[in-house]
Structure 1
Amino acid sequence: MHVVITGASRGIGAELAKRYRADGHTVTGTSRRGGGGLVALDVTRAEGFEDLAAHLGGRAVDLLVCNAGIYPDKGQALDTGYPASMWAETFATNVTGVFLSVQALLPNLRAAQGARIAIISSQMASHTRAPGGSYIYRASKAAALNLGRNLATDLAPEGIAVGIYHPGWVRTDMGGDAADISVDEAAEGLIARFDALDKTSTGCFQTWDGRDYPY
Protein backbone atom coordinates (compact mmCIF):
# COMPACT_ATOMS: atom_id res chain seq x y z
CA MET A 1 0.00 0.00 0.00
CA HIS A 2 1.18 3.52 -0.81
CA VAL A 3 0.28 6.07 1.87
CA VAL A 4 0.68 9.84 1.52
CA ILE A 5 0.64 11.82 4.78
CA THR A 6 0.73 15.60 4.91
CA GLY A 7 2.28 17.18 7.98
CA ALA A 8 4.45 14.15 8.73
CA SER A 9 7.42 15.82 10.41
CA ARG A 10 6.17 15.49 13.99
CA GLY A 11 3.30 14.47 16.23
CA ILE A 12 0.55 12.26 14.88
CA GLY A 13 1.72 12.51 11.26
CA ALA A 14 5.23 11.34 12.11
CA GLU A 15 3.93 8.45 14.20
CA LEU A 16 1.52 7.33 11.46
CA ALA A 17 4.36 7.37 8.93
CA LYS A 18 6.62 5.37 11.25
CA ARG A 19 3.96 2.73 11.87
CA TYR A 20 3.00 2.33 8.23
CA ARG A 21 6.66 1.93 7.23
CA ALA A 22 7.20 -0.61 10.01
CA ASP A 23 4.30 -2.61 8.57
CA GLY A 24 6.00 -2.69 5.17
CA HIS A 25 4.00 0.01 3.41
CA THR A 26 5.44 2.72 1.17
CA VAL A 27 5.00 6.16 2.74
CA THR A 28 5.35 9.56 1.14
CA GLY A 29 5.39 12.10 3.95
CA THR A 30 5.40 15.85 3.57
CA SER A 31 6.43 18.78 5.70
CA ARG A 32 6.65 22.50 5.13
CA ARG A 33 10.44 22.49 4.78
CA GLY A 34 11.07 18.93 3.62
CA GLY A 35 14.27 17.09 4.48
CA GLY A 36 14.73 13.93 6.50
CA GLY A 37 13.07 11.84 3.81
CA LEU A 38 10.04 14.15 3.61
CA VAL A 39 8.81 15.97 0.52
CA ALA A 40 8.65 19.76 0.89
CA LEU A 41 5.03 20.91 0.78
CA ASP A 42 3.54 24.10 2.17
CA VAL A 43 -0.17 23.34 1.90
CA THR A 44 -0.97 27.07 1.79
CA ARG A 45 0.86 27.48 -1.54
CA ALA A 46 -0.79 26.02 -4.63
CA GLU A 47 2.48 25.66 -6.55
CA GLY A 48 3.77 23.20 -3.99
CA PHE A 49 1.16 20.67 -5.02
CA GLU A 50 2.48 20.69 -8.57
CA ASP A 51 5.86 19.66 -7.18
CA LEU A 52 4.26 16.91 -5.09
CA ALA A 53 2.35 15.58 -8.08
CA ALA A 54 5.55 15.61 -10.12
CA HIS A 55 7.38 13.76 -7.34
CA LEU A 56 4.72 11.06 -7.29
CA GLY A 57 4.50 10.77 -11.05
CA GLY A 58 1.77 8.33 -11.94
CA ARG A 59 2.13 6.18 -8.81
CA ALA A 60 -1.15 5.08 -7.30
CA VAL A 61 -2.02 6.38 -3.82
CA ASP A 62 -4.06 3.94 -1.75
CA LEU A 63 -4.48 6.20 1.28
CA LEU A 64 -4.17 9.97 1.56
CA VAL A 65 -4.04 11.29 5.13
CA CYS A 66 -4.70 15.04 5.28
CA ASN A 67 -3.04 15.73 8.61
CA ALA A 68 -1.28 19.09 8.18
CA GLY A 69 -2.90 21.68 10.42
CA ILE A 70 -2.34 24.59 12.79
CA TYR A 71 -4.01 25.90 15.95
CA PRO A 72 -2.71 29.46 16.37
CA ASP A 73 -5.57 31.06 18.31
CA LYS A 74 -5.16 29.49 21.76
CA GLY A 75 -5.64 32.13 24.42
CA GLN A 76 -6.81 34.85 22.05
CA ALA A 77 -9.09 37.46 23.64
CA LEU A 78 -12.48 38.05 22.03
CA ASP A 79 -12.18 41.83 22.35
CA THR A 80 -8.68 42.22 20.99
CA GLY A 81 -7.53 38.96 19.42
CA TYR A 82 -8.28 36.80 16.38
CA PRO A 83 -6.70 39.06 13.75
CA ALA A 84 -7.76 38.71 10.13
CA SER A 85 -4.33 37.41 9.16
CA MET A 86 -4.72 34.54 11.64
CA TRP A 87 -8.08 33.59 10.14
CA ALA A 88 -6.58 33.62 6.65
CA GLU A 89 -3.53 31.52 7.54
CA THR A 90 -5.55 28.95 9.49
CA PHE A 91 -8.18 28.46 6.80
CA ALA A 92 -5.48 28.29 4.12
CA THR A 93 -3.83 25.47 6.08
CA ASN A 94 -6.71 23.57 7.68
CA VAL A 95 -9.30 23.86 4.90
CA THR A 96 -7.90 24.97 1.55
CA GLY A 97 -4.82 22.83 2.16
CA VAL A 98 -7.01 19.75 2.55
CA PHE A 99 -8.92 20.49 -0.63
CA LEU A 100 -5.78 21.16 -2.65
CA SER A 101 -4.19 17.94 -1.35
CA VAL A 102 -7.16 15.92 -2.55
CA GLN A 103 -7.45 17.78 -5.83
CA ALA A 104 -3.75 17.43 -6.68
CA LEU A 105 -3.69 13.70 -5.93
CA LEU A 106 -6.98 12.73 -7.56
CA PRO A 107 -5.21 11.09 -10.54
CA ASN A 108 -3.10 9.02 -8.11
CA LEU A 109 -6.10 8.08 -5.98
CA ARG A 110 -8.05 7.09 -9.09
CA ALA A 111 -5.16 4.86 -10.13
CA ALA A 112 -5.60 2.78 -6.97
CA GLN A 113 -8.27 0.17 -6.34
CA GLY A 114 -10.59 1.37 -3.59
CA ALA A 115 -8.55 4.38 -2.52
CA ARG A 116 -9.28 6.13 0.77
CA ILE A 117 -8.94 9.69 2.04
CA ALA A 118 -8.64 10.42 5.76
CA ILE A 119 -9.15 14.00 6.92
CA ILE A 120 -7.97 14.88 10.41
CA SER A 121 -10.52 17.27 11.87
CA SER A 122 -11.47 17.55 15.55
CA GLN A 123 -14.37 17.07 17.92
CA MET A 124 -14.22 20.87 18.12
CA ALA A 125 -15.80 20.84 14.66
CA SER A 126 -19.05 19.42 16.01
CA HIS A 127 -22.02 21.72 16.53
CA THR A 128 -22.58 19.90 19.82
CA ARG A 129 -19.41 21.36 21.35
CA ALA A 130 -19.60 25.10 21.85
CA PRO A 131 -17.79 26.02 25.08
CA GLY A 132 -16.54 29.27 23.55
CA GLY A 133 -13.12 30.44 22.47
CA SER A 134 -10.76 29.10 19.80
CA TYR A 135 -13.07 30.57 17.18
CA ILE A 136 -10.65 30.26 14.29
CA TYR A 137 -9.59 26.68 14.95
CA ARG A 138 -13.15 25.53 15.62
CA ALA A 139 -14.47 27.20 12.46
CA SER A 140 -11.65 25.78 10.32
CA LYS A 141 -12.16 22.23 11.59
CA ALA A 142 -15.91 22.53 11.07
CA ALA A 143 -15.20 23.59 7.50
CA ALA A 144 -12.85 20.62 7.04
CA LEU A 145 -15.63 18.33 8.30
CA ASN A 146 -18.09 19.83 5.83
CA LEU A 147 -15.54 19.53 3.03
CA GLY A 148 -14.95 15.89 3.81
CA ARG A 149 -18.65 15.06 3.88
CA ASN A 150 -19.18 16.62 0.46
CA LEU A 151 -16.07 14.99 -1.01
CA ALA A 152 -17.45 11.66 0.18
CA THR A 153 -20.61 12.26 -1.83
CA ASP A 154 -18.81 13.30 -5.00
CA LEU A 155 -16.17 10.57 -4.91
CA ALA A 156 -18.43 7.67 -3.91
CA PRO A 157 -19.32 6.82 -7.54
CA GLU A 158 -15.59 6.41 -8.23
CA GLY A 159 -15.13 4.03 -5.32
CA ILE A 160 -13.03 6.47 -3.27
CA ALA A 161 -14.05 6.56 0.40
CA VAL A 162 -13.58 9.62 2.61
CA GLY A 163 -13.52 9.61 6.40
CA ILE A 164 -13.23 12.52 8.84
CA TYR A 165 -11.61 11.88 12.22
CA HIS A 166 -11.10 13.34 15.68
CA PRO A 167 -7.62 12.11 16.68
CA GLY A 168 -8.24 12.63 20.39
CA TRP A 169 -6.73 15.24 22.66
CA VAL A 170 -3.15 14.17 22.11
CA ARG A 171 0.05 15.03 23.96
CA THR A 172 1.81 16.86 21.12
CA ASP A 173 3.10 20.40 20.61
CA MET A 174 -0.45 21.31 19.61
CA GLY A 175 -2.28 19.37 22.30
CA GLY A 176 0.03 20.16 25.19
CA ASP A 177 1.32 18.06 28.08
CA ALA A 178 -2.07 17.92 29.85
CA ALA A 179 -3.78 16.12 26.95
CA ASP A 180 -5.59 12.81 27.45
CA ILE A 181 -3.74 10.35 25.24
CA SER A 182 -0.30 9.67 23.81
CA VAL A 183 0.71 9.92 20.18
CA ASP A 184 1.07 6.12 20.17
CA GLU A 185 -2.55 5.64 21.27
CA ALA A 186 -3.86 8.16 18.75
CA ALA A 187 -1.92 6.65 15.83
CA GLU A 188 -2.91 3.09 16.69
CA GLY A 189 -6.58 4.05 16.88
CA LEU A 190 -6.52 6.12 13.72
CA ILE A 191 -4.87 3.37 11.69
CA ALA A 192 -7.64 1.01 12.77
CA ARG A 193 -10.21 3.58 11.66
CA PHE A 194 -8.50 4.07 8.30
CA ASP A 195 -8.35 0.31 7.76
CA ALA A 196 -12.09 0.06 8.34
CA LEU A 197 -12.99 2.91 5.98
CA ASP A 198 -14.82 1.73 2.87
CA LYS A 199 -17.80 2.58 0.68
CA THR A 200 -20.25 1.63 3.44
CA SER A 201 -18.74 4.09 5.94
CA THR A 202 -17.69 6.91 3.61
CA GLY A 203 -18.58 10.31 5.00
CA CYS A 204 -18.17 9.11 8.58
CA PHE A 205 -17.08 11.43 11.41
CA GLN A 206 -15.42 9.24 14.01
CA THR A 207 -13.15 9.46 17.01
CA TRP A 208 -9.76 7.79 17.15
CA ASP A 209 -11.26 5.00 19.26
CA GLY A 210 -14.12 4.18 16.89
CA ARG A 211 -17.05 6.20 18.19
CA ASP A 212 -19.32 7.96 15.73
CA TYR A 213 -19.32 11.67 16.53
CA PRO A 214 -22.26 14.02 15.93
CA TYR A 215 -21.77 16.48 13.12
Structure 2
Amino acid sequence: MLVTSWEVSNISKFKYQSLKDHVYNYIAERIQNGTLLPNQKISENSICESLNVSRTPVREALIQMASENYLENIPRKGFIVKELDTKKKLDVFQVVGTLDGMAASLAVDHMTEEDITRLEQLVGQIDLAISAHSYADYQTYQNQFHQTYICKCGNDTLVELLKSLQNSFVRQIYLSEDKQKLFSVLDQMNREHKQIIELFKARDKTGLDHILKHVHWRIDYVDMI
Protein backbone atom coordinates (compact mmCIF):
# COMPACT_ATOMS: atom_id res chain seq x y z
CA MET A 1 0.00 0.00 0.00
CA LEU A 2 0.94 3.64 -0.35
CA VAL A 3 2.65 5.37 2.62
CA THR A 4 0.13 7.22 4.79
CA SER A 5 2.29 8.25 7.79
CA TRP A 6 4.94 10.88 7.21
CA GLU A 7 6.74 11.33 10.53
CA VAL A 8 9.96 13.32 10.30
CA SER A 9 11.75 10.63 12.28
CA ASN A 10 10.94 8.12 9.55
CA ILE A 11 11.85 10.50 6.73
CA SER A 12 15.36 10.81 8.12
CA LYS A 13 15.90 7.08 7.67
CA PHE A 14 15.47 7.18 3.90
CA LYS A 15 18.33 7.62 1.47
CA TYR A 16 18.10 10.53 -0.96
CA GLN A 17 16.80 8.56 -3.95
CA SER A 18 14.33 6.66 -1.75
CA LEU A 19 13.05 9.97 -0.41
CA LYS A 20 12.01 10.98 -3.93
CA ASP A 21 10.05 7.75 -4.20
CA HIS A 22 8.25 8.46 -0.95
CA VAL A 23 7.33 11.94 -2.16
CA TYR A 24 6.02 10.28 -5.32
CA ASN A 25 3.87 7.90 -3.25
CA TYR A 26 2.60 10.74 -1.07
CA ILE A 27 1.38 12.69 -4.10
CA ALA A 28 -0.09 9.55 -5.66
CA GLU A 29 -2.09 8.83 -2.51
CA ARG A 30 -3.52 12.34 -2.48
CA ILE A 31 -4.69 11.89 -6.07
CA GLN A 32 -6.22 8.52 -5.27
CA ASN A 33 -8.10 9.64 -2.18
CA GLY A 34 -9.52 12.74 -3.84
CA THR A 35 -7.43 15.32 -1.99
CA LEU A 36 -5.91 16.33 -5.33
CA LEU A 37 -8.45 16.48 -8.14
CA PRO A 38 -8.06 16.51 -11.94
CA ASN A 39 -6.86 19.88 -13.29
CA GLN A 40 -5.78 20.98 -9.81
CA LYS A 41 -2.38 22.63 -9.39
CA ILE A 42 0.07 20.86 -7.09
CA SER A 43 1.67 23.10 -4.48
CA GLU A 44 5.35 22.28 -4.18
CA ASN A 45 5.67 24.43 -1.07
CA SER A 46 2.85 22.57 0.65
CA ILE A 47 4.48 19.21 -0.05
CA CYS A 48 7.84 20.43 1.22
CA GLU A 49 6.23 21.64 4.44
CA SER A 50 4.09 18.52 4.93
CA LEU A 51 7.01 16.13 4.51
CA ASN A 52 9.73 18.40 5.88
CA VAL A 53 11.84 17.90 2.78
CA SER A 54 13.72 20.17 0.40
CA ARG A 55 12.35 21.20 -2.98
CA THR A 56 14.75 18.94 -4.92
CA PRO A 57 13.12 15.51 -4.25
CA VAL A 58 9.70 17.09 -4.72
CA ARG A 59 10.67 18.45 -8.13
CA GLU A 60 12.18 15.10 -9.10
CA ALA A 61 8.98 13.26 -8.15
CA LEU A 62 6.82 15.74 -10.07
CA ILE A 63 9.04 15.54 -13.15
CA GLN A 64 8.83 11.74 -13.08
CA MET A 65 5.03 11.86 -12.82
CA ALA A 66 4.87 14.27 -15.75
CA SER A 67 7.10 11.98 -17.82
CA GLU A 68 4.70 9.11 -17.02
CA ASN A 69 1.80 11.26 -18.26
CA TYR A 70 0.02 11.49 -14.90
CA LEU A 71 0.75 15.20 -14.47
CA GLU A 72 1.04 18.07 -16.93
CA ASN A 73 3.79 20.68 -16.55
CA ILE A 74 2.34 23.98 -17.74
CA PRO A 75 4.83 26.86 -18.22
CA ARG A 76 4.50 29.62 -15.58
CA LYS A 77 1.72 27.65 -13.88
CA GLY A 78 3.37 24.49 -12.61
CA PHE A 79 2.29 20.87 -12.37
CA ILE A 80 -1.38 20.02 -12.89
CA VAL A 81 -3.14 16.71 -12.19
CA LYS A 82 -4.23 15.16 -15.48
CA GLU A 83 -7.71 13.72 -15.94
CA LEU A 84 -7.61 10.05 -16.96
CA ASP A 85 -10.31 8.97 -19.38
CA THR A 86 -13.16 6.76 -18.21
CA LYS A 87 -12.05 3.77 -20.30
CA LYS A 88 -8.65 3.79 -18.60
CA LYS A 89 -10.27 3.86 -15.16
CA LEU A 90 -12.68 1.03 -15.97
CA ASP A 91 -9.83 -1.07 -17.36
CA VAL A 92 -7.86 -0.62 -14.13
CA PHE A 93 -10.83 -1.53 -11.92
CA GLN A 94 -11.46 -4.67 -13.97
CA VAL A 95 -7.89 -5.87 -13.53
CA VAL A 96 -7.81 -4.92 -9.84
CA GLY A 97 -10.98 -6.94 -9.22
CA THR A 98 -9.52 -10.02 -10.87
CA LEU A 99 -6.22 -9.80 -9.00
CA ASP A 100 -7.85 -8.90 -5.67
CA GLY A 101 -10.13 -11.93 -5.95
CA MET A 102 -7.11 -14.13 -6.63
CA ALA A 103 -5.25 -12.65 -3.66
CA ALA A 104 -8.19 -13.26 -1.31
CA SER A 105 -8.63 -16.87 -2.41
CA LEU A 106 -4.91 -17.53 -1.99
CA ALA A 107 -4.89 -15.84 1.42
CA VAL A 108 -7.62 -18.06 2.89
CA ASP A 109 -5.23 -20.76 4.07
CA HIS A 110 -2.94 -18.19 5.71
CA MET A 111 -5.46 -15.97 7.50
CA THR A 112 -5.37 -16.21 11.31
CA GLU A 113 -8.03 -15.38 13.88
CA GLU A 114 -6.11 -12.17 14.54
CA ASP A 115 -6.34 -11.26 10.85
CA ILE A 116 -10.11 -11.81 10.86
CA THR A 117 -10.42 -9.70 13.99
CA ARG A 118 -8.40 -6.98 12.28
CA LEU A 119 -10.79 -7.02 9.31
CA GLU A 120 -13.76 -6.71 11.68
CA GLN A 121 -12.14 -3.79 13.49
CA LEU A 122 -11.50 -2.00 10.19
CA VAL A 123 -15.11 -2.50 9.10
CA GLY A 124 -16.16 -0.86 12.37
CA GLN A 125 -13.82 2.06 11.73
CA ILE A 126 -15.20 2.40 8.22
CA ASP A 127 -18.74 2.55 9.64
CA LEU A 128 -17.62 5.39 11.93
CA ALA A 129 -15.98 7.19 8.99
CA ILE A 130 -19.21 6.94 7.01
CA SER A 131 -21.26 8.24 9.96
CA ALA A 132 -18.87 11.18 10.31
CA HIS A 133 -18.85 11.76 6.53
CA SER A 134 -15.06 11.46 6.62
CA TYR A 135 -14.01 10.49 3.10
CA ALA A 136 -10.30 10.52 3.97
CA ASP A 137 -10.81 8.09 6.87
CA TYR A 138 -12.91 5.81 4.68
CA GLN A 139 -10.12 5.74 2.12
CA THR A 140 -7.50 4.95 4.74
CA TYR A 141 -9.41 2.14 6.42
CA GLN A 142 -10.66 0.50 3.24
CA ASN A 143 -7.09 0.41 1.93
CA GLN A 144 -5.97 -1.25 5.16
CA PHE A 145 -8.85 -3.74 4.92
CA HIS A 146 -7.78 -5.02 1.53
CA GLN A 147 -4.09 -4.92 2.39
CA THR A 148 -4.68 -7.18 5.41
CA TYR A 149 -5.40 -10.19 3.23
CA ILE A 150 -3.37 -9.19 0.17
CA CYS A 151 -0.25 -9.43 2.34
CA LYS A 152 -1.25 -12.99 3.28
CA CYS A 153 -1.69 -14.30 -0.28
CA GLY A 154 1.84 -15.75 -0.39
CA ASN A 155 2.48 -14.52 -3.94
CA ASP A 156 4.95 -11.64 -4.08
CA THR A 157 4.39 -11.10 -7.80
CA LEU A 158 0.66 -10.68 -7.22
CA VAL A 159 1.30 -8.24 -4.38
CA GLU A 160 3.60 -6.18 -6.60
CA LEU A 161 1.08 -6.16 -9.45
CA LEU A 162 -1.64 -4.84 -7.15
CA LYS A 163 0.76 -2.25 -5.77
CA SER A 164 1.61 -1.16 -9.31
CA LEU A 165 -2.07 -0.71 -10.12
CA GLN A 166 -2.49 1.38 -6.98
CA ASN A 167 0.25 3.59 -8.37
CA SER A 168 -1.71 4.02 -11.61
CA PHE A 169 -3.25 7.25 -10.27
CA VAL A 170 -6.77 5.92 -10.63
CA ARG A 171 -8.80 6.85 -7.57
CA GLN A 172 -9.55 3.61 -5.74
CA ILE A 173 -13.07 4.48 -4.56
CA TYR A 174 -15.99 6.60 -5.64
CA LEU A 175 -16.07 10.38 -5.18
CA SER A 176 -18.93 12.85 -5.63
CA GLU A 177 -19.99 16.32 -4.51
CA ASP A 178 -23.38 14.78 -3.68
CA LYS A 179 -22.47 13.70 -0.14
CA GLN A 180 -25.73 11.86 0.50
CA LYS A 181 -25.24 9.74 -2.61
CA LEU A 182 -21.51 9.29 -1.96
CA PHE A 183 -21.80 7.95 1.57
CA SER A 184 -24.81 5.82 0.65
CA VAL A 185 -22.64 4.12 -1.98
CA LEU A 186 -19.71 3.79 0.44
CA ASP A 187 -22.08 2.22 2.99
CA GLN A 188 -23.02 -0.40 0.41
CA MET A 189 -19.34 -1.09 -0.23
CA ASN A 190 -18.75 -1.59 3.48
CA ARG A 191 -21.63 -4.07 3.60
CA GLU A 192 -19.68 -5.94 0.94
CA HIS A 193 -16.61 -5.80 3.21
CA LYS A 194 -18.71 -7.55 5.86
CA GLN A 195 -19.68 -10.25 3.35
CA ILE A 196 -16.01 -10.69 2.51
CA ILE A 197 -15.25 -11.33 6.19
CA GLU A 198 -17.94 -14.00 6.38
CA LEU A 199 -16.48 -15.70 3.32
CA PHE A 200 -13.05 -15.70 4.95
CA LYS A 201 -14.55 -17.27 8.07
CA ALA A 202 -16.15 -19.96 5.89
CA ARG A 203 -12.87 -20.38 3.96
CA ASP A 204 -14.89 -20.02 0.77
CA LYS A 205 -12.27 -19.40 -1.91
CA THR A 206 -14.74 -19.48 -4.78
CA GLY A 207 -17.07 -17.05 -3.04
CA LEU A 208 -14.24 -14.63 -2.29
CA ASP A 209 -13.02 -14.68 -5.86
CA HIS A 210 -16.56 -14.06 -7.13
CA ILE A 211 -17.50 -11.18 -4.81
CA LEU A 212 -14.26 -9.29 -5.39
CA LYS A 213 -14.12 -9.86 -9.13
CA HIS A 214 -17.80 -9.48 -10.01
CA VAL A 215 -19.36 -7.45 -7.18
CA HIS A 216 -17.03 -5.33 -5.08
CA TRP A 217 -14.94 -3.93 -7.92
CA ARG A 218 -17.80 -3.70 -10.41
CA ILE A 219 -18.42 -0.07 -11.32
CA ASP A 220 -22.12 0.79 -11.06
CA TYR A 221 -21.67 4.56 -10.88
CA VAL A 222 -19.41 5.54 -13.76
CA ASP A 223 -20.05 9.24 -13.12
CA MET A 224 -18.42 8.93 -9.68
CA ILE A 225 -15.06 7.43 -10.67
TM-score by length of 1: 0.32
The structure that is helix-richer by fraction is 2
Which of the pair is proportionally richer in strand?
A: 1
Q: State the TM-score, normalizing by the size of structure 2.
A: 0.31
